[in-house]
A and B are shown apart, each in its own frame.
Chain A
Amino acid sequence: MTAPAKDNEVWALRLYVAGQTPKSITAFANLKKICEAHLAGRYTIEVVDLLQQPQLAAGDQIVAIPTLVRKLPEPLRKIVGDLSNAERALVGLQLRPAKSGV
């Protein structure tokens, strides 16, 4: 189970939330867990609270909350939801090829 990403690549992740809702807290916790497990030391997480910065929502075409956006490495990926399904989150982040299966 090797990540397709190169080891020296830096992952820039952005998590969009709207206030401190249970969903966003869960999402952040889940994300942290995944990153520590697979991308330890080479990731950054930026949390954007749209209640404070609503103008940022349009830029990444945010509709659903929470949304995780993989800014780097390219291409851009979006994962919607609280990331409670870790397997699907890994597939979505392309940390695990979809075919190799769960």
Chain B
Amino acid sequence: MNKLDRQRVATTRSLLKCRTGIQGLDEITGGGLPRGRPTLISGSAGCGKTLLAMEFLVRGATQFNEPGVFMAFEETPEELTQNVASLGFRVADLVKSGKVNIDYVRVERSEIDETGDYDLEGLFVRLGHAIDSIGAKRVVLDTIETLFSGFSNMAVLRAELRRLFRWLKEKGVTAVITGERGETQFTRHGLEEYVSDCVILLDHRVTDQVTTRRLRIVKYRGSAHGTNEYPFLIDETGINVLPITSIGLEHIASTERISSGVPRLDGMLGGKGYFRGSSILVTGTAGTGKSSLAAHFCRAACLRGEKCLYFAFEESPNQIVRNMRSIGVDLEPFVKKDLLHFHAIRATILGLEGHLTEFHKLVEEFAPQVVVLDPVDSLVQAGTTKDATAMLTRLIDYLKMRQITALMTNLISGGELVESSGVNISSLVDTWLLLRDVETGGERNRAMYILKSRGMAHSNQIREFLLTDHGINLQDVNLGPDGVLTGSARQVQEFRERSSARARLDEIERKQRDLKRKREAFEARLVALRKEFEVEADEADWMLSLEESRDRILQSERDEMAIKRKADPISLDRQRKASKGEK
């Protein structure tokens, strides 16, 4: 059901509905079956008609305080009670407390002769009596078509059935009428002709040797409804109809981060790891280390004291423990401490609905914080790809609702696109890690990158993925001139780079030493020059003072001479100035 559908269903409240209490059915019918009207449930043998009808009554009696009458045409009350006891319905108790009334109607052709005119008033009387005796609000007729084999007068029978359904409506009871699926019609005898308000079709189909139960609302007069085929399963709690988006997208998004178990990977995931409650998909070709990554994640969870549920579809728990020990991840102590629980089962043993039931049951029982599915593509063997996708969608939704972090591995075969998940869930998962082979220089190495990781800044780098005897190690890959280098090619390249770097370093050091020497030489020369200059300056000063004293002596001699010659003061003064070089 898409969003629009859901809105449509949600807004249809004009018609009074009768809640069935059956998981999922009320959601796709927008609140239940039409109240006070008959609903036809049609399906081939063994597809769960009687069970659905009985659950409708039992839920009505126990959850909605609506007593119900079960008119059985095929099974005795004892048989019925026993058959549904395995689903946890205590019908006998309900009968005792007057919540449910079972009336077994046996019509045996060989015991009956028909002579002349008759009607089915006896049936009406019995039903009316049963309804009135417990104040029933719900009625089941399972399956009224048996009457067709008991009586030969079809005209009477058809007229009486028409009257019966009209009478049921007048009584105001919500009725469920079951019918065997016919060749061309919904029921063998065309009951849909009389019951036209709501028709639900049950189906039990085998595709590739795997059966899946499906439910479809063919018709719901006066109400919108989900129109798809919805898979349903029968488990010990009764019927579970699982509309794909019934759970909606209302789960809380945690901001808590949990480690992937590989420190370098945490670093690539924004430094903190996955979000709690998110779903992680690890895809890769065979032998790229998907399970190893899952094992690291398990170990990290168990070390935090969390519970981890590991669904293994291809390996036995022992084998996984042994294999993981070889890469230094010892899971056995966690198994012993009951923190880690393996559930190994071949995918083909159960149908998809069966697997889903198993998941639900185990998750409820074990209450894990972390779930690993290894590998999910096996589930395709239990159904078709489309069904597997639908089932995984429901599973992912279910786990998200419970804030359980799920890690799924998925094998990609050689021919497939590397960036595909095979089961088409890539758009549903939050984090997608891709493991792949890189073939270079005659060897095959593993590389890993994060294709997407919602809600966090994650690395865009390809890392070489090394499985060492002490776990996973992520190495930076070498982006040499010839492209991505891994394995020994990377090591050679790194060595080459290291040695050339060494050489460059030596060269730099030598140049620095040269420069230092030059600077020292320069400074020494500078000192020498200064000394030389100082010597010259001293000499110049001495010469200057010598010259000045000679001038002074010469002047005084001249003055004396002028005085002796009795020169006038002006010429004396001029002479003095001239001797000093003044103008």
Q: Which of B110-139 contact A (CB under 8 A)?
A: 111-126, 128-129
- B147 contacts partner chain A, Cβ-Cβ < 8 Å: yes
On whether the beta carbons of A61 and B121 are closer than 8 Å, the reply is no
- A89 contacts partner chain B, Cβ-Cβ < 8 Å: yes
On whether the beta carbons of A76 and B111 are closer than 8 Å, the reply is yes
- Smallest CB–CB gap between A4 and chain B, Å? 16
- B466 contacts partner chain A, Cβ-Cβ < 8 Å: no
- Smallest CB–CB gap between A86 and chain B, Å? 8
A40-81 CB contact bits vs B (8 Å, 1 = yes)? 000000000011001101100111111100000000111111
On whether the beta carbons of B122 and A64 are closer than 8 Å, the reply is yes
CA separation between A61 and B150, bound complex, in Å?
12
CA separation between A51 and B124, bound complex, in Å?
10
- A88 contacts partner chain B, Cβ-Cβ < 8 Å: yes
Which of B99-107, B198-206, B291-299, B510-518 faces chain A?
B99-107
On whether the beta carbons of A85 and B115 are closer than 8 Å, the reply is yes
**A83 partner residues in chain B, CB cutoff 8 A:** 115-116
- A91 contacts partner chain B, Cβ-Cβ < 8 Å: yes
30 chain-A/chain-B pairs, Cβ below 8 angstroms: A18-B122, A30-B116, A50-B121, A50-B122, A50-B125, A54-B125, A54-B128, A54-B129, A61-B107, A61-B108, A62-B126, A63-B126, A63-B150, A64-B112, A64-B118, A64-B120, A64-B122, A65-B120, A65-B125, A77-B111, A78-B112, A80-B114, A81-B114, A82-B118, A84-B115, A84-B116, A88-B114, A89-B113, A89-B115, A92-B115
- B313 contacts partner chain A, Cβ-Cβ < 8 Å: no
On whether the beta carbons of A85 and B116 are closer than 8 Å, the reply is yes
CA separation between A81 and B112, bound complex, in Å?
10
CA separation between A88 and B122, bound complex, in Å?
22
Q: Which of B65-111 contact A (CB under 8 A)?
A: 103-108, 111
* Contact A81 B122, CB 8 Å, known A61-B107, A63-B105, A76-B111: no
Q: How large is the interface on B (under 10, 10 to 19, 20 to 34, 35 or more residues)?
A: 20 to 34
- A23 contacts partner chain B, Cβ-Cβ < 8 Å: yes
- A28 contacts partner chain B, Cβ-Cβ < 8 Å: no
* Contact A91 B119, CB 8 Å, known A55-B129, A61-B107: no
**A16 partner residues in chain B, CB cutoff 8 A:** 122
By beta carbon, the residue of chain B nearest A19 is B121
CA separation between A15 and B579, bound complex, in Å?
178
On whether the beta carbons of B126 and A58 are closer than 8 Å, the reply is yes
- B342 contacts partner chain A, Cβ-Cβ < 8 Å: no
On whether the beta carbons of A80 and B115 are closer than 8 Å, the reply is yes
- B151 contacts partner chain A, Cβ-Cβ < 8 Å: yes
On whether the beta carbons of B111 and A78 are closer than 8 Å, the reply is yes
CA separation between A77 and B112, bound complex, in Å?
7
On whether the beta carbons of A82 and B116 are closer than 8 Å, the reply is yes
By beta carbon, the residue of chain B nearest A65 is B121
- Smallest CB–CB gap between B443 and chain A, Å? 82
On whether the beta carbons of A80 and B112 are closer than 8 Å, the reply is yes
A residues engaging B (CB < 8 A)?
A: 16, 18, 23, 26-27, 30, 50-51, 54-55, 57-58, 61-67, 76-86, 88-89, 91-92
CA separation between A92 and B118, bound complex, in Å?
15
**A79 partner residues in chain B, CB cutoff 8 A:** 112-115
* Contact A57 B122, CB 8 Å, known A23-B117, A81-B117, A82-B117: yes
**B123 partner residues in chain A, CB cutoff 8 A:** 63-64
Of B107, B114, B116, the contact of A63 (CB 8 Å cutoff): B107
Of A58, A77, A84, A89, the contact of B117 (CB 8 Å cutoff): A84
**B122 partner residues in chain A, CB cutoff 8 A:** 16, 18, 50, 57, 62-65, 67
**A67 partner residues in chain B, CB cutoff 8 A:** 118, 122
**B118 partner residues in chain A, CB cutoff 8 A:** 23, 64-67, 80-82
**A51 partner residues in chain B, CB cutoff 8 A:** 125
Given contacts A65-B121, A81-B117, 18 further A-B contacts (CB under 8 A): A18-B124, A26-B116, A54-B125, A61-B106, A61-B107, A63-B150, A64-B112, A64-B122, A64-B123, A65-B118, A65-B125, A67-B118, A77-B111, A77-B113, A82-B116, A83-B116, A84-B117, A91-B113
**B125 partner residues in chain A, CB cutoff 8 A:** 18, 50-51, 54, 57, 62, 65
CA separation between A85 and B113, bound complex, in Å?
11
The listed residue with most A CB atoms (<10 A of its CB), out of B103, B111, B122, is B122
**B114 partner residues in chain A, CB cutoff 8 A:** 79-81, 88
**B113 partner residues in chain A, CB cutoff 8 A:** 77-80, 88-89, 91-92
On whether the beta carbons of A23 and B119 are closer than 8 Å, the reply is yes
**B116 partner residues in chain A, CB cutoff 8 A:** 26-27, 30, 81-85
**A65 partner residues in chain B, CB cutoff 8 A:** 118-122, 125
- Smallest CB–CB gap between B120 and chain A, Å? 6
B302-313 CB contact bits vs A (8 Å, 1 = yes)? 000000000000
CA separation between A63 and B104, bound complex, in Å?
11
Of A54, A63, A81, the contact of B115 (CB 8 Å cutoff): A81
On whether the beta carbons of B115 and A64 are closer than 8 Å, the reply is no
Of B104, B119, B129, the contact of A64 (CB 8 Å cutoff): B119
By beta carbon, the residue of chain B nearest A64 is B118
By beta carbon, the residue of chain B nearest A75 is B111
B143-156 CB contact bits vs A (8 Å, 1 = yes)? 00001001100000
**B150 partner residues in chain A, CB cutoff 8 A:** 63
CA separation between A67 and B114, bound complex, in Å?
9
On whether the beta carbons of A63 and B111 are closer than 8 Å, the reply is no
**B112 partner residues in chain A, CB cutoff 8 A:** 64, 78-80
